[in-house]
Amino acid sequence: MSEDAPFDIVRHIDGGHGRFVLSHDGAAAELTFSVAGETLWIADHTEVDDALRGTGAGQALVARLVADARAEGRKIVPLCPFVNAQRRKHPEWADAFQV
């Protein structure tokens, strides 16, 4: 699987907590966030099963986070070290982050 392979990612929000979940061939990856008001998400954790490491699954989760935040007029606080690293690698995403 290449880094640009499409993944099916589902978003769940329950009150003040949300997550993006990616499943592929029995393996999973997840990015969790806190809802901090109407316009702010705090990305707090990303976890990728070993079977998905190196496939672009983690980056796909962050890309979906960014796309959804932009579409809904939200900003992201990147507390998660992985999300913050992806933010630095992708300057084109700068408008979606509050740092």
- Which of these CATH numbers, 3.90.1010.10, 3.40.1210.10, 3.40.47.10, 3.40.630.30, describes 9-92? 3.40.630.30
User: What is the pLDDT averaged over residues 54-71?
Assistant: 97
pLDDT at 17: 97
Q: What angle do CA 79, 54, 89 make, to 5 degrees?
A: 45
SS3 87: helix
User: What is the pLDDT averaged over residues 57-86?
Assistant: 98
Q: How far apart are CA 41 and CA 27, in angstroms?
A: 26
User: What is the pLDDT averaged over residues 59-80?
Assistant: 98
In single-letter form, the type of residue at position 1 comes to M
Q: Where are the domains of the chain?
A: 9-92
**Is residue 77 within 8 Å of 87, Cβ to Cβ?**
no
* Model pLDDT for residues 6-31, shown as the tens digit of each residue: 789 999 999 999 999 999 989 999 99
pLDDT at 2: 39
CB atoms closer than 10 angstroms to residue 84: 17
